[in-house]
Amino acid sequence: MSQPSIKKVALAYSGGLDTSVILKWLQETYGCEVVTFTADIGQGEEVEPARAKAQALGIKEIYIDDLREEFARDFVFPMFRANTIYEGEYLLGTSIARPLIAKRLIEIVNETGCDAIAHGATGKGNDQVRFELGAYALKPDIKVIAPWREWDLTSRETLLAYAEKHGIPIEQKRAGSSPYSMDANLLHISYEGRVLEDPWAEPEEDMWRWTVSPENAPDKPTYIELSFERGDVVAIDGQRLSPASVLAELNRIGGANGIGRLDIVENRYVGMKSRGCYETPGGTIILKAHRAIESITLDREVAHLKDEQIARYASLIYNGYWWSPERLVLQQLIDASQVNVNGEVRLKLYKGNVTVVGRKSESNSLFDPNIATFEDDKGAYNQKDAEGFIKLNALRLRIAGKKGAKFI
């Protein structure tokens, strides 16, 4: 069915089976010009071949952008300042990449005069929500085309048949390639589908790509020191690195020590439960270290206030509300809390475990050994003051007890 109102579409394009079929389907169904956008966010695969594939399908405007630094600096690091995890475990590796892709798509729309965007997210998943909420927030009147919600190509077999019919070159899966549905970027790699659709089935060992099994990790621990400035890691073992380089190096070190594997069943925003496995070695290390440096530099009530926001902040990212006013306000609170989060953390990495073994901050530590000591504090803390403190806090409990209130 032709849609003459759509003249030009910006397509989030990987060059794989789905988006290659979508590209041709857009040309056929809407009779429109297509602009392709391929993002390098550290997925570890060559993105340049997408250019040749797009050119073979007649595309003239092709964007292939290296967004690794922007991804780490403006999305991953701000998220980690909040110690963000979803449902107590998931480090949001897929979720946090989507608002960046949506942002760049809208920039391309504005640069090229497109009147719509298109993506390859299915109608069952979270990504359709994340892409589209981001797009609507940044360009309220943008039109969105989601082929998986429109066409009748409902399986890999029908997609392959469409590709063959229209002469779309598709690389077949190579011997030894993963049978799972995978998504990778600088922060993580995810696995879904096949045996993982049974939540009782243990993942196969050869599924994992970034991490050695903890059993096969080195028998000798690895020690590293991370330097923080305003809540962000800026150096590893004294060597200053860019945000993207920090993530890449910690992925390497953590992966070699079996760190960052996760197997969870999560609640998707669209309503279903989904089982997924994740590898996030660098992120796992950063979060552990960040909490450690905060433990000596953050005021107690500020730290507790931040902790109260974790579930809310994580849900905003997971559900696609990165560009919402509430996330932006929360980010201001979080960033303001990080002004004094400066110092060093020493970590021991051993067979899948990350252990904090030291933390210090020369200028911002609130830890006072003269007060905290179990030895003679030389009058720094008057222990008799605790009696009045306890009695004042017990007042309401004592009153209730005298009145015969029952709590159990």
What DSSP state is assigned to residue 328? H
Which of the residues are catalytic? 18, 98, 127, 181
Unique residue bearing structure tokens 């048949």: 161
Closest alpha carbon to 32 in 185, 191, 145: 145
Contact between 40 and 65 under an 8 Å Cβ cutoff? The reply is yes
User: By the 8 A CB rule, do 118 and 90 touch?
Assistant: no
Exposed e or buried b per residue across 46-84, where buried means at least 16 C-beta atoms within 10 angstroms of its C-beta: ebeebbebbeebebebbbbbebbebbbeebbbbbbbbbb
**Bridge-based pairing state of the strands 181-184 and 189-192:** antiparallel
42 near 251, Cβ under 8 Å? no
Strands of 49-170 (E only): list them.
62-66, 116-118, 143-145
Give Dmax (Cα) for the chain.
86
- What is the amino acid identity at position 93? G
Distances in Å between the Cα of 75 and the Cα atoms of 122, 244, 343, 368 are 24, 11, 22, 34
Listed residue (96, 98, 102) closest to 79, CA to CA = 96
Q: Is the dihedral of CA 133, 134, 138, 139 positive or negative?
A: negative
